[in-house]
């Protein structure tokens, strides 16, 4: 369980990292962490430039989006964040990014082939079809996909990842983007593709929890 102070600090740290590494756009994407009561969330505000958020603009919200603390409007994706924590009990952090290559990967209905160890661990990543951002339909579909894997791609939109802590959630989002990037490079090279052999895919599966 996080203290409220830790939750706010972690959100700012991770938001800054995701922004400088190109996973958040000027206003796109959002980050949350569980509060000290374990039932409400701290989340980034809606519509504000993501490049220099401070703890003061974060919003502490109830499941219906009502603000407990904070003057800003909470992210419109708060339903999707609550859905992520419901899908993965015990999680304390979730990130929604607009990672460009993973987004294009989803639009083109790609799947992770066993091209390296990360791709083997990400093989259960689902692509959720288009639903209106901020909608209950999107939140429900993401909750279902995150029940099967800690990360999922949102078609025509971005991706969502959840973790035991915010660092793990962000790591998942970064690995999805980096692995999608390798598959993109592969397609550009063309030529014969060599995958991780089947017997190793099975061996590696037991280490999937490490990420």
Instruction: Report the residue number, 133 or 144, with the smaller CB distance to Zn ion.
Output: 133
Please state the closest distance from residue 201 (CB atom) to Zn ion, in A.
32
- Residue 20 neighbours by CB under 8 Å, 6+ apart: none
Instruction: Report the residue number, 83 or 158, with the smaller CB distance to Zn ion.
Output: 158
Please state the closest distance from residue 79 (CB atom) to Zn ion, in A.
12
Please state the closest distance from residue 112 (CB atom) to Zn ion, in A.
21
Please state the closest distance from residue 40 (CB atom) to Zn ion, in A.
21
Instruction: Report the residue number, 70 or 158, with the smaller CB distance to Zn ion.
Output: 158
Name the residue among 117, 116, 112 with its Cα closest to residue 102.
112
Beta-bridged to residue 94, according to DSSP, are 32, 162
Instruction: Report the residue number, 6 or 137, with the smaller CB distance to Zn ion.
Output: 137
Please write down the long-range contacts of 146-151, taking CB distance under 8 Å and 24 or more positions apart. 146/83, 146/84, 146/87, 146/88, 147/87, 147/88, 148/124, 149/122, 149/124, 149/125, 150/88, 151/122, 151/125, 151/175, 151/176
Q: Which residue is nearest to Zn ion (CB)?
A: 158
Distance of alpha carbon 120 from its chain centroid, rounded? Answer: 18
Instruction: Report the residue number, 78 or 112, with the smaller CB distance to Zn ion.
Output: 78
Give residues in contact with Zn ion (CB under 5 A): 158
Please state the closest distance from residue 44 (CB atom) to Zn ion, in A.
11
What 3-state DSSP class applies to 198? helix
């Amino acid at each position: 369980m996080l203290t409220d102070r830790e939750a706010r600090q972690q959100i700012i740290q991770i938001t800054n990292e995701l922004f400088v590494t190109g996973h958040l756009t000027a206003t796109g994407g959002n980050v949350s962490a569980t509060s000290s009561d374990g039932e409400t969330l701290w989340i980034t505000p809606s519509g504000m430039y993501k490049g220099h958020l401070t703890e003061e603009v974060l919003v502490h919200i109830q499941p219906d989006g009502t603000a407990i603390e904070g003057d800003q409007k909470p992210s419109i994706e708060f339903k999707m964040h609550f859905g992520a924590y419901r899908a993965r009990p015990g999680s304390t952090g979730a990130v929604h990014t607009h990672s460009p290559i993973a987004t294009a990967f989803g639009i083109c209905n790609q799947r992770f082939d066993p091209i390296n160890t990360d791709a083997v661990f990400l093989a259960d990543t689902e692509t959720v079809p288009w639903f209106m951002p901020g909608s209950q339909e999107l939140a429900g579909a993401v909750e279902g996909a995150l029940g099967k894997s800690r990360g999922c791609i949102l078609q025509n939109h971005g991706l969502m990842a959840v973790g035991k802590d915010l660092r793990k959630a962000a790591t998942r989002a970064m690995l999805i983007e980096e692995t999608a990037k390798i598959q993109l490079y592969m397609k550009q090279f063309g030529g014969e593709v060599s995958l991780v052999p089947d017997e190793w895919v099975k061996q590696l599966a037991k280490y999937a929890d490490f990420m």
